[in-house]
Chain A
Amino acid sequence: MLDGFISVATAAVRSGTPLLYATLGEILTERSGVLNIGLEGIMLMGAITGFAVVYSTGNLLLAVLMAMVMGAIFGALHAFFSVTLRVNQVVTGLAIAMLGKGLSGFWGKSYIGVVAPRFEKLPIPVLKDIPFLGPVFFNHDILVYITYLLVPFLWFFIYRTSAGLTLRAVGEAPEAADAKGINVFAHRYFYTIIGGALTALGGAYLSLAYASMWIENMTAERGWIAVALVVLSTWDPVKAILFSYLFGGIDTLQFYLQVSGTTVSAHILKMLPYLATVIAVVFTSREKVRKLINAPTALGIPFSREEEVA
């Protein structure tokens, strides 16, 4: 029983990690006031870029870097449309999602069925021997461990540093930030690009560690789930890690349930995250709740220094 629980929890951490990277990236982007729902496409681009690089060079570090550069490029594209051109950010995000899906499928055609080096497990000495916690948290690859540092770092950055305060100001009250001499446009560009890079890293995790191969559409809607996780975790990196593991766990659980021959259909279980999101959207849309959970006030609203933009 405990063994079963440990293996589900371990798998939840592994399967939650790509979600976590994308969610953390989007938290930064949305905190600056830009909504990017195209995560699915960016994750796919990260996955194929990383895989293509490691396949031809064998260098995992370079693969991760190039995946992040690709994510940054897509982030910049999104920023150009939503910050400079100020067009509808949702439709732009949809276009980014389509573009990423299409380009990755096209590019990845020749990588189907080939194998490449992967991030191997790197059990941490001593820590890995702690009962329960050891196997669940400290018997993974390096990309998982990085998130253990990234989450507290981002939390500290957002809530405890002046740069974090500026980031929040840009997303909460861009006019006020502008009046204070903060360059709203530059900040939004920067965080949308960083968000893209982290999202692509989440995708690269899938092709470099989780599965270590390329399959078309291998993200399997994780990008859309991540958009939802950002809202569920109320733009807080610490809650993001909890929800990512929870959803990673649901992902794992449905696999286990299927194997154990349960009567609940996998398809019905897979609906859970989407339904949870719909319910979350209802709650977070109330003015009071929005204030309570600190939704960035100017999220999705382009900033312009000229008068009213219709």
Chain B
Amino acid sequence: MLRLERRESTSKTFQIAISVLTVVLALVVVGILLYFFGVNPIEAYKEMFLWPFGNVYGFSDTLVKSIPITLAALGLIFPFQMRVWNIGAEGQFLMGAFGASLAALYIFPGLENRILMVLLVSMFGIIFGSLWAAIPGLMKAYLRADEIVSTIMLNYVALLWIDYLVYGPWKDPQGYNFPMTKFFPDAAWLPYFGQTQIHAGIIILPLAAFFAYYLTRLSPWGLKIKVIGDNEKTAWYAGINVNRELFVAMLLSGALAGLGGALHMMGAQHRLQHGFSAGYGYTAIIVAWLGKLNPWAVLIVGILFTGLLVGNEQLQIFFGIPISLIFVFQGVVLLGLLAGEILSRYRIKFARKGVGENA
């Protein structure tokens, strides 16, 4: 029988080693699948790593997609630190994209000042993202409703809401009946860097990481949520309003995911479209976890992990491998992280049956 014994402490190196090992493990599992698919895993991995990090197009694709993923992951740090499981970054990202489209296409379509336009569209993304997080946040804080189920369900509601719009009232009349809106006005397009597809939204990433770093590590509020995460009862005794801080953490989380939605709209998509998110909000959960909720680590992991996803997509194009491999990869990473979390907290002892008693 397996038995877990608590560790006194865990070193940072050990934690990093676990994150790295997990990704390697996932790569091995996917490699085995590739082998069965008739593709040489070594060849495939060469392509998978060279494309996102050694090629201009691949690298710019990586950076562009890393923006919404990393922003959402940075936002998740706040609720996750309090052990509030916001699985709703996907929905909050989608609603942010919805808010951005609402602003750019229907509220300020005639606005020609680019700076003002970008600020307003971003604001709308933030507002709608945080509103979408406010629903499960309020329900959790004041009604004790399980946030996991409610956030997952609201993800689907948001997805259907976007589909409703792009298949219905917001469909571009000149769009050959494709489920998408018309393009954003020029003023709502973020400028690119040189000839690449990398857009100005990337500047926000380090700023957001600093914002998360400041809030969690330097501000008094960070201390509060740390106490809540360690022990909710202690927090109440210390006079911390756990409900309020929980709600604030959810709002902040939704705000960053929503901002990611707005930037992705203005920088990459330029229109609302059916199925434009490849599950970025779910990937963000993995990124936040891989980065051990440390903002700077999340920033780096966000870009690296997006690179793996972009590399995976490239495999599909290059070798004709099903795109679903990405989900296998992410699933194995998640399971590996869960097992790793246990390894870092407990020693695993193999023992015979009947070792309930503590020696």
Contact = CB atoms under 8 A, between A and B. Distances in A.
B339 interface: yes
B102 interface: no
Given A101-B327, A267-B160, A282 B152 contact: no
B322 A105 contact: yes
Interface stretch (B43-51, B119-127, B163-171): B163-171
A90 B168 contact: no
A91 B334 contact: yes
Contact of A106 (B152, B328, B341): B328
B342 interface: yes
Interface in A80-120: 81, 84-88, 90-92, 94-106, 109
Contact of A271 (B2, B160, B324): B160
Contacts of A41: 331
Contacts of A59: none
B232 to A, nearest CB: 11
Interface residues of A, number: 48
B153 A274 contact: yes
A114 B87 CA distance: 36
Contacts of B150: 277-278, 281
Interface string B20-39: 00000000000001000100
Contacts of A103: 324, 328
A37 B342 contact: no
Contacts of B156: 221, 224, 271, 274
Interface stretch (B106-114, B138-146, B215-223, B254-262): B138-146
A95 B154 CA distance: 19
B161 interface: yes
Given A95-B335, A281-B150, A275 B325 contact: no
Main secondary structure of the interface of B (DSSP, over half): helix
B4 A86 contact: yes
B330 A105 contact: no
B195 interface: no
Nearest to B334: A95
A84 to B, nearest CB: 5
B328 A268 contact: no
Contacts of B56: none
Contacts of B317: none
B262 to A, nearest CB: 22
Nearest to A267: B164
Contact of B143 (A277, A286, A304): A286
A137 to B, nearest CB: 30
B238 interface: no
B323 interface: yes
B282 interface: yes
B85 A90 contact: yes
Interface string B54-87: 0000000000000000000000000000000101
Most buried by B among A85, A101, A231, A287: A85
A282 B139 contact: yes
A186 to B, nearest CB: 11
A106 B331 CA distance: 13
Contact of A94 (B33, B282, B342): B282
A102 B331 contact: yes
A227 interface: yes
B85 A106 contact: no
Q: Which 6 A-B pairs have the closest CB atoms?
A: A105-B324, A102-B327, A99-B331, A102-B328, A98-B331, A95-B334
Interface of B: 2, 4, 33, 37, 85, 87, 135, 139, 143-146, 148-150, 152-154, 156-157, 160-161, 163-164, 167-168, 282, 285, 289, 322-332, 334-335, 338-339, 341-342, 356, 358
Given A85-B342, A228-B149, 14 more contacts: A81-B338, A87-B339, A87-B341, A94-B285, A95-B335, A102-B326, A102-B328, A103-B324, A105-B324, A224-B156, A267-B163, A274-B157, A282-B139, A282-B145
